[in-house]
Amino acid sequence: MNDISRRDCMTLALAATAAGSLSFHAAAAGNEDAAGTGAESLNGLAASKGLRFGSCVGDGPSGAPGPHTAEDDVRANSFADPNMRALLVSQCGMLVPENELKWYALRKTPTSFDFRRADVLVDFATRHKMAVRGHTLLWNKAKWFPDWVAKYDFGSNPRAEAERMLREHINTVCGRYKGRIFAYDVINETINPKTGELEDTVFTKYLGPDVVDIAFHTAREAAPHAQLVYNDYMSWSPGNEKHRAAVLKLLERMRKNNVPIDALGIQSHISTADVDPVKQLAAVQSKEWRNFLDEVVGMGLDLVITEFDVNDKELPADITIRDRAVADFGRAYFDLMLSYPRLRYVMAWGLVDKYSWLQNTSARPDGLPKRPCPYDDNYKPKLLRNAMAEAFRSAPARPAMDIRPA
């Protein structure tokens, strides 16, 4: 990876002179010491309270199944932007590949794995002493598997073949990154939010609920010191009650069966459209959401925010009004979540607006770009970034989690 390393050093230095409004600290000068160590960086502020902060980054194109545009591919390749890399090093102490460890990006055929794009991101994080999360060992939704999975011949003993395939995948990924990835979203989104049942996939078809047990036990064997996470998007907003109840039922079953799980990953793709006006939020859902979180931590599980952003789809076009509402909404959410000492770290699902997955998802009625991230398209901090910083400053202190690679 020498070419990548030289490129990083050069572009980080160039970024410092190209954007004077950015505070790149030592990283902008090409210093490859630990990232996110500045006291006023988001990670530095989080670390002062025993937390950590990081973001996803993509080395696109995403490779996701279904139609996509050239714009989608550019958005998914935020890592190619030197200013983006510099911002990651300046603000983050953790990194997660946005798409590169998902089945559709990693496993194009039943017998092959392509780690090249994931390796670029993990190598970058390693050089800058950033902790890495693995997302995800099994995204258990049929639409997000590579096309070959639906056509695969599982033979005369499909249960045994499904288990073999799943174990092979987890062992291969965890073995590849042994000592470099400290946490894994072992399973992502296996609950159907409308029915409360497990998603209908080839793995649930042949393995039933045992798919969860097998995946987590295999991950524990392959990465014995890693934080193992169940990750899902059950929300604090109205209409998510059945989803939350089903997730609690899944977690209760896992604990009863001694399935090795350490934390619940709460994606935190929150939306200002869920409550109007924002100030009504506390009266609408905070009690129900706290009850849910209390149940989770009552099982002895940690909480982690894995994919934070704020969808401003329904807000007015005026940027001043929009950014203020997004910041207020984000601050209310952070204050509630950070009040739980068992919340260990926060991952943004992107730092810069133009690279957010939300730009290509459910467009605003006025067609304007969304502004869901802490930094704008020119890498300047927005009100949301300030709100996040203040939330970290105000958060109760907690013992720091050991995030050394497993």
pLDDT, position 245 = 97
The pLDDT tens digits of the residues spanning 208-224 come to: 999 999 999 999 999 99
Q: Mapped to the 3 state alphabet, what secondary structure does 5-41 carry? A: HHHHHHHHHHHHHHCCCCCCHHHHHCCCCCCCCCCCC
DSSP-derived secondary structure letter, 65: S
The residues, any chain, with a CB within 8 Å of residue 245's CB and separated by 6 or more, are 196
pLDDT, position 236 = 87
Task: Give the C-alpha separation, 108 to 100, whole Å.
Answer: 12
In the structure, what pLDDT confidence band is assigned to residue 30 with cuts at 50, 70 and 90? very low
- Asked if 334 contacts 348 with a C-beta cutoff of 8 angstroms, the reply is no
Instruction: Evaluate whether residue 294 is within a structural domain.
Output: yes
Instruction: Evaluate whether residue 7 is within a structural domain.
Output: no
Task: Calculate what percentage of the chain has a pLDDT beyond 70.
Answer: 89
The pLDDT tens digits of the residues spanning 94-126 come to: 999 999 999 999 999 999 999 999 999 999 999
Instruction: Evaluate whether residue 45 is within a structural domain.
Output: yes
Amino acid at 27: A
The residues, any chain, with a CB within 8 Å of residue 5's CB and separated by 6 or more, are 123, 127
pLDDT, position 31 = 43
Count of domains for the chain: 1
Structural domain span for residue 59 = 36-394
Three-state DSSP class for residue 244: helix
The residues, any chain, with a CB within 8 Å of residue 157's CB and separated by 6 or more, are none
The pLDDT tens digits of the residues spanning 173-196 come to: 999 999 999 999 999 999 999 999
Strand segments (E) across 339-394: 343-348
Instruction: Evaluate whether residue 8 is within a structural domain.
Output: no
CATH number of the domain within which 197 lies: 3.20.20.80
233-244 as b/e: b if 16+ CB within 10 A: bbbbbeebeebb
Question: 210-222 and 241-256 are packed helices; what angle lies between their axes, rounded to 10 degrees?
Answer: 60
Instruction: Evaluate whether residue 402 is within a structural domain.
Output: no
pLDDT, position 362 = 83
By the 10 Å C-beta count (0-12 exposed, 13-18 middle, 19+ buried), 350 is classed as buried
For residue 6, is pLDDT > 80?
Answer: no
Instruction: Evaluate whether residue 26 is within a structural domain.
Output: no
pLDDT, position 29 = 33
The pLDDT tens digits of the residues spanning 37-93 come to: 999 999 999 999 999 999 999 998 877 887 777 777 778 899 999 999 999 999 999
Instruction: Evaluate whether residue 144 is within a structural domain.
Output: yes
Task: Give the C-alpha separation, 27 to 44, whole Å.
Answer: 14
| Mean pLDDT rounded to a whole number for the chain | 89
Task: Give the C-alpha separation, 349 to 96, whole Å.
Answer: 9
Instruction: Evaluate whether residue 58 is within a structural domain.
Output: yes
- Report how many helices (DSSP H) and strands (DSSP E) the chain contains, helices first: 15, 9
